[in-house]
Chain A
Amino acid sequence: DSGVTQTPKHLITATGQRVTLRCSPRSGDLSVYWYQQSLDQGLQFLIQYYNGEERAKGNILERFSAQQFPDLHSELNLSSLELGDSALYFCASNKDGPTYNEQFFGPGTRLTVL
Chain B
Amino acid sequence: AQSVSQHNHHVILSEAASLELGCNYSYGGTVNLFWYVQYPGQHLQLLLKYFSGDPLVKGIKGFEAEFIKSKFSFNLRKPSVQWSDTAEYFCAASYSSASKIIFGSGTRLSIRP
Q: Which residues of A contact B (CB under 8 A)?
A: 2, 4, 33, 35, 42-45, 48, 55-56, 58, 90, 92, 99-100, 102-103, 105-108
Contact = CB atoms under 8 A, between A and B. Distances in A.
Given A102-B34, A105-B44, 20 more contacts: A4-B43, A35-B103, A42-B106, A44-B103, A45-B100, A48-B100, A55-B99, A56-B99, A56-B100, A90-B43, A90-B44, A99-B94, A99-B98, A99-B101, A100-B51, A100-B94, A102-B49, A103-B101, A105-B45, A107-B43
Contact of B96 (A58, A100, A103, A105): A100
Contacts, number: 51
A105 B43 contact: yes
A45 B42 contact: no
A43 B104 CA distance: 8
A63 B88 CA distance: 29
A90 B78 CA distance: 27
Q: Is the interface of A mostly helix, strand, loop or mixed?
A: strand
Contacts of A99: 94, 98-101
B67 interface: no
Contacts of B98: 56, 99
B18 interface: no
Interface in B60-109: 90, 94, 96, 98-106
Nearest to B44: A105
